[in-house]
Structures are given as structure tokens and as C-alpha cells.
Amino acid sequence: LSTHCGLLFNELIKAPHGILTALQNMLKYALELDTGRWTNQSAAIILYVLRLLVRIEGFMIFLVRYNQDKQEAAIGPGWKCSVDGLEADQETLRQIEVERKKIREVVNQQARSILDRWISFAIKKNEMGKVAYLYAHCVFIWQNLDSEELTEDVVINFLSSQLFLATRFRSQTKDFSLGPQKRVKAEVDQADMFGSGLQSELFEIFQKQRGMIMAWVDADPARRNEVMEAIVRIVSLTTSASIDKSYAKSRFWRSMDGKNCLGRFVPCPNQRSPADQQQIEEQREFNRGREVGEIEVNIQLGTFSLNTSRLEGVDERISCFPEFEQMFGSE
């Protein structure tokens, strides 16, 4: 993926069958290693192959869309520019798109099922570092998500994974100069699993998909209510990642009133009329946002708040004290 001169693009254009067949076989054989729960050897292989396939899928999407939307301009965003050597015939593009959809179907169904099962087992064993690592891969598989692929299940999985990471995972990129320097074993293991590269990619995915997901959530108020309730249940560990509407509460979710508060969703006991909401929107730019309600799902920043207090991992300078570990454990 990091070769010079576009060698991966060249392989996809000149000999797509060979590389795409090999990728599908790699994914198939990797998923067959699943034993039903996390094991270090099989999990490392499966997750590596998933990351590899998602990254290569990005190259495939770029190549197809470049040839569909190619512009004559020398510069432009994404694939809307002119690049020598990326032209491909329609049959090749059709083959790439067909094979990409096959790979995506396997990832969405089989790989997602494996990740959800591993997460359930890890939660039962209170292995939150491992759960965070798996939720990071739940986010990663949606790196190339398109607006046409958005569904309730996809949005719930993406946002709940993001909020779970925000509330349970402590970034290891900070350099603390105060307090004890010793880190507990769970934090070291968590840092080794994530690495700085994966953390950067996750941040990029959050920013890339945020606007599209916010627009999808705002498009249908009834759908938004179900999505937000499901996210709250998953992040608070009330239910699993699967959709279970039997737990739904009769609350109505909307963006917090005030300037720059779009995407900061809060529940209300009563639904506003369209006229009242329109009046609020007209005054939004002239009012300051105020904290309301006991829960806030902030898609702007990817945070989750209860009783106006944002949930986040305990500061490393506190969690590494022996007294804290003795009382609450190392996870």
C-alpha cells in the first residue's frame, strides 16, 4: 500500500482478477480461523486482514470514481482531478466494482458478526481494553462508507463505537510530566494494541464521516430517536450492539438549542411541533447554547455526557496509583 509510483493502482488496472481473487481468498481463510471468541493468534490475523482489505477497498473506490467523474483540471479534491496512468476501460472498472462489493458483503456480515461476538465475550470478562480495540476496528471497517450505504445498523455501530472509545480509551500519545510515571499493565497492553498509527486513522475517519452521518440523522426525526436510544444503551452497556427496539423509550431527540449546537443531541419528553422548531431554528444564531437534559450525545466531538458531565477515561496520573488499582482494578 505504501509503494511508490502507484504499483497497486497498476495491478488493479492491468490484472485485477489476480489480486482481487487473492484478497478474497485471504479474507476467507482468515475468517475461518475464528474459534468463537478472542484468541491472540487468530485475532491478530483476522484484524490485520480486515484492516488490509479496507485500505485496499479505498484504492478500488478511488480508481472507479476517478474514471467516472474525471475532470480535466490539473488539481481538485479527491478523484476530481487529472492524473496520468489511472485510466481504465469499462470492463475492468465493472470487474473491480463487482469484486469490491463481494468483499464488502463479507466484511459487513461475517466480519461484523465476529467482532460483535468477541465484544460480547470481552465485556462479560470486563476486558475493556480489548473491547475498545475491537470497537476501534468496528469504526475502521466503515472508513470508505458512502451515503448510499447508511442504514440504522451502520450508523448505530459507527457512533456507538466512537462514543465507547471516547469514554473508555485513553490516548497514549500524551507525554505527562507530572505524577507517577509507571503505567499499569492494562494501559501498556492497550497502547501496544492501538499504536499511534491506528489512533490517527480513527481520528481521520471520525472527521471524514461526521458531516454525512449528521445529515442522515437529521433527515428523519423518528429514525433519529431510535438510533440515539440504541446508542445510549450500547455505550452504557445496557444491551449488546444489536438493535433491540423493545428497550426503546418514548423520548424525542433533537439538537440542543443555540449557536453552534447542531449535532449535540439531547432527549426531550415532548416532541416539538414543526412550527415551534422552525422558530427555534430562526433564532439559533442569536442564542447561546445551554446544557439541558441528563444525557447528551455530541456527534460534533464524539463525546457522551451524563448530567452535564462528559464521560471519559480516568486520567493516567490517577489510574496508575496502587490504591486506585487495588480498589478498581487495572482495566
Q: Is the residue at 234 inside a domain?
A: no
Task: Give CA–CA dist 128/190, Å, rounded.
Answer: 9
Output the pLDDT for position 247.
Answer: 47
pLDDT at 49 over 90: yes
Output the pLDDT for position 134.
Answer: 92
Closest CA to 132 of 175, 183, 184, 194: 194
More confident site: 220 or 80: 220
Q: Is the residue at 71 inside a domain?
A: yes
Inter-helix orientation angle 128-140/40-69, to 10°: 20
Picking from 34-38, 84-88, 156-160, 240-244, which range would have the lowest pLDDT averaged per residue? 240-244
Q: Is the residue at 29 inside a domain?
A: yes
Q: What is the mean pLDDT of residues 220-245?
A: 77
Task: Give CA–CA dist 79/93, Å, rounded.
Answer: 15
Return the bridge partners of 305, or none. Answer: 296, 310
Q: Got the DSSP string for 228-291? A: HHHHHHHHTTSS-SS--GGG--S-EEEEPSSTT-TTEEEEESSPPPHHHHHHHHHTGGGS----
**How does residue 186 score in pLDDT terms, banded at 50, 70 and 90?**
very low
Output the pLDDT for position 328.
Answer: 66
The number of distinct structural domains making up the chain is 1
C-alpha cell of residue 72? 480535466
pLDDT at 238 over 80: no
Q: Is the residue at 246 inside a domain?
A: no
Output the pLDDT for position 153.
Answer: 93
Q: Is the residue at 313 inside a domain?
A: no
Task: Give CA–CA dist 331/126, Å, rounded.
Answer: 8
Q: How far is CA 49 from CA 19, 175, 281, in A?
A: 14, 31, 46
Q: Is the residue at 283 inside a domain?
A: no
| Structural domain for 24, as ranges | 1-125
Q: Is the residue at 165 inside a domain?
A: no
Task: Give CA–CA dist 262/289, Å, rounded.
Answer: 10
Q: Which residues of 267-301 are buried (b: 16+ CB within 10 A; e: fewer)?
A: beeebeeeeeeeeeeeebeeeeeeeebebbbbbee
Q: Is the residue at 308 inside a domain?
A: no
Q: Got the DSSP string for 158-184? A: HHHHHHHHHHHPPPS-----SS-----
- Position 314, amino acid: V
Return the bridge partners of 252, or none. Answer: 268
Return the bridge partners of 255, or none. Answer: 265
Cβ 264 vs Cβ 270: under 8 Å:
no
Return the bridge partners of 306, or none. Answer: 295, 309
Output the pLDDT for position 294.
Answer: 78
Task: Give CA–CA dist 193/208, Å, rounded.
Answer: 23
Sign of CA dihedral 69, 74, 78, 83: positive
Picking from 90-99, 130-139, 203-212, 307-316, which range would have the lowest pLDDT averaged per residue? 307-316
pLDDT at 6 over 60: yes
Cβ 20 vs Cβ 99: under 8 Å:
yes
C-alpha cell of residue 286? 442569536
